[in-house]
Amino acid sequence: MFELIQKLFGRESSSSKDIAKERLRLVLVHDRVNVSPQFMEGLKDDMIKVISNYMDINEKDMEVNLTNTKTSVALVANIPVNRMKRGVYIQE
């Protein structure tokens, strides 16, 4: 009976809390993605350290970006490799 009244007076069938949850999920994705420059620098430095154990890379031309669409976030890195380091090949 109450659902009928709800429909009569225009309450939508998807509850407002579900709308809120979905909006919140998206907005937090965006908020977390809008990170500070220091954050990106720190990330970059750590990546350089780790990758340099395996290969020599061109730090100057290295690009690291967080890209965000409406529904997802991706960390995209373009790292020119000068050469692989010796002795790191994993022997099968």
Partner 1 sequence: MGEVIVVTSGKGGVGKTTTTANIGTGFALQGKKVVLVDADIGLRNLDVVMGLENRIVYDLIDVTEGNCRLKQALIRDKRYETLYLLPAAQTRDKNAVSPDQMKELCEDLSKDFDYVIIDCPAGIEQGFKNAIAGADRAIVVTTPEVSAVRDADRIIGLLESEGKHNPKLIVNRIRPKMVKKGDMMDIDDIIEILAVDLLGIIPEDEYIVISTNRGEPAVVNPVSTASSAYKNIVRRLTGENVPLMTLETNDGFFDKLKKIFGL
Residues engaged in binding partner 1 (CB under 8 A): 1-2, 5, 9, 16-17, 19-20, 23, 26-27, 30-31, 34-36, 70
* C-alpha closest to that of 65 among 89, 44, 45: 44
Please identify, using beta-carbon distances, which residue of 1 and 50 lies nearer to partner 1.
1
Q: Kindly state the smallest distance separating residue 19's Cβ from partner 1, in Å.
A: 6
Query: ∠ CA 36-41-45 to the nearest 5 degrees?
Result: 150
Minimum distance from residue 59 beta carbon to partner 1 (Å): 25
| Nearest CA-CA partner of 44 in 35, 31, 26 | 35
Minimum CB distance to partner 1 smaller for 25 or for 85: 25
Nearer to partner 1, 30 or 85 (CB): 30
Tokens coding 85 = 């380091």
For the chain, what percentages of helix, strand and coil (3-state, to nearest 5) are there? 45, 20, 35
Closer residue to partner 1, CB minimum distance, 26 or 77: 26
Question: Shortest Cβ distance from residue 91 to partner 1 (Å)?
Answer: 46
Query: The tokens of 39 are what?
Result: 């954050």
